[in-house]
Amino acid sequence: MIHIDLTDQPIDVAAALQLVEAEGAGAINTFIGTVRNQSTGRSVVRLEYEAYDSMALHQLRKVAEQALEQWPMLQQVAIIHRKGTLYIGDVAVVVAVSTPHRAESFAACQFIIDTLKQVVTIWKKEFYEDGDVWVAAHP
Amino acid sequence: MIHIDLTDQPIDVAAALQLVEAEGAGAINTFIGTVRNQSTGRSVVRLEYEAYDSMALHQLRKVAEQALEQWPMLQQVAIIHRKGTLYIGDVAVVVAVSTPHRAESFAACQFIIDTLKQVVTIWKKEFYEDGDVWVAAHP
Amino acid sequence: MNLKIALFGIAREIVGQSALEVSAPEGQSARGLLQDLHARYPELARLSSLAVAVNNEYAAEDAPLREHDEIALIPPVSGG
Amino acid sequence: MNLKIALFGIAREIVGQSALEVSAPEGQSARGLLQDLHARYPELARLSSLAVAVNNEYAAEDAPLREHDEIALIPPVSGG
């Protein structure tokens, strides 16, 4: 089962964890990305995430499907990404997977967040005291 | 910072996550072990975890300290293990770590749960419809 | 044919609007579209990458574009 | 000297009690203690492993035991 969401509301991590609970799954791995107070040495004040919604949702689902292909024992996959304005400590993304065995839970969760960062059409702009930058835009 | 607990009360996963939140940590990885309905092909009814408390707490702390040595960027580490009687779906263990960068959050969390399973003095007895077994006791 | 192109992130800022209509020869490829846009907006060429998406999928460079496709410019993504 | 040994899990069940007092020669090693206990409780020898802990640490096989040590038998752990 795949659960995908892209939301401008605060992410409820506990609810995300409940999505992946399964009686046959003894192992749940969760990655939570939060807004750090620093980025490449500069003090971050806030972030803005912009998304190409329809493509982001489609690509998020594809990433989850690829994980299910690679680890057929996966029972539940949840990927929830925030958009809009975020402040220090806010949750930007939650990935949660459940499997019968733990090694696969780590591998699948890491695959999902790594692949998400490469292909999902979401853009982050960091705002500092003295300027702003679209992350990764320039070499 | 290291947070260790061994408890006969249900584990509050959300509270465990709050323990590892840190402003400089953009990445939180969490492993949750729950009671599965099956083990080596038999239907599990319930589990009992017995602990050698003082040594388990000491060894849990050592595992966390080893992780901090190996990944000095770790900001917070929480390890909470349940003991007593557990039923299907109950949370047996939560490991949560926060770091500035995600690859290390996966590696450190996996190191902790793998090492915990090798050294921490906690014993699991599985109860089936038709018997019970101390897990891993015999070759 | 006329292509309508959705713009996001820094590409939207460089162009100064969130959608663009361009006229292109029939069978224009994704690569051809990018060359056109690089000529009109040189700052786009300075990005680490710039992909074309068609109907929510990344398009191959030689993929021919069609008038009713949902086309978008994809500057380097940075979600997560 | 007298050693007091705490027992857990399947070791506790095999011995039938949660602590054991044994008399041992001065300087008895962890290995020597295990050999004694294997002789008295042959089922202990069938376990996948059986370690001795002294004061909350795993003891080396040749570690000498002392009367006031907190000693425990550690059958294969299975937490997590």
Q: What digits encode the pLDDT tens for the residues B10-56?
A: 999 999 999 999 888 899 999 999 999 988 889 999 999 999 999 99
> In this complex, is the C-beta atom of A122 within 8 Å of any C-beta atom belonging to chain C?
yes
| Inside any domain, residue A63 | yes
* C touches D, CB cut-off 8 Å, minimum 3 pairs: no
Residues of chain A with Cβ-Cβ distance to B13 below 8 Å are 14, 17
In a domain, A137, yes or no: no
Residues near C1 by beta carbon (within 8 Å), at least 6 away in sequence:
C23, C24, C25, C26, C28, C66, C67
Q: Per-residue pLDDT tens for D36-76?
A: 999 999 999 999 999 999 999 999 999 999 999 999 999 99
Give how many domains chain D has, as a whole number: 1
In a domain, C80, yes or no: no
Instruction: Print the domain residue range for A87.
Output: 2-127
CATH code for the domain of D45: 3.10.20.30
What CATH number does the domain containing B42 carry? Answer: 3.90.1170.40
What's the sign of the alpha-carbon dihedral A112, A115, A116, A117?
positive
Whether B54 and D56 have beta carbons less than 8 Å apart is answered as yes
| pLDDT tens-place string over residues A50-107 | 999 999 999 999 999 999 999 999 999 999 999 999 999 999 999 999 999 999 999 9
On whether ipTM exceeds 0.85, the answer is yes
Q: Is A56 on the interface with C (CB under 8 A)?
A: yes
Residue A136 belongs to some domain of the structure: no
Q: Can you give the pLDDT at residue A40?
A: 82
Query: To the nearest whole angstrom, how far is the Cα of B90 from the nearest Cα of chain A?
Result: 10
B122 located within any domain: yes
Any domain includes B133: no
Q: What whole-number distance in Å separates Cα of residue A102 and Cα of residue A94?
A: 18
Structure tokens at B45: 């009814």
CA distance C56 to C53: 6
Please report whether residue D32 resides in a domain.
Answer: yes
User: What token pair was written down for B54?
Assistant: 């003082």
pTM: 0.95
Answer yes or no: is B132 within a domain: no
Give how many domains chain B has, as a whole number.
1
Q: Does B83 map to a domain?
A: yes
A132 domain residue, yes or no: no
D36: domain range? Answer: 2-74
For chain A, the residue count is 139
CB A17 within 8 A of CB A30: yes
Does any domain span residue C79? Answer: no
| Within a domain: D79 | no
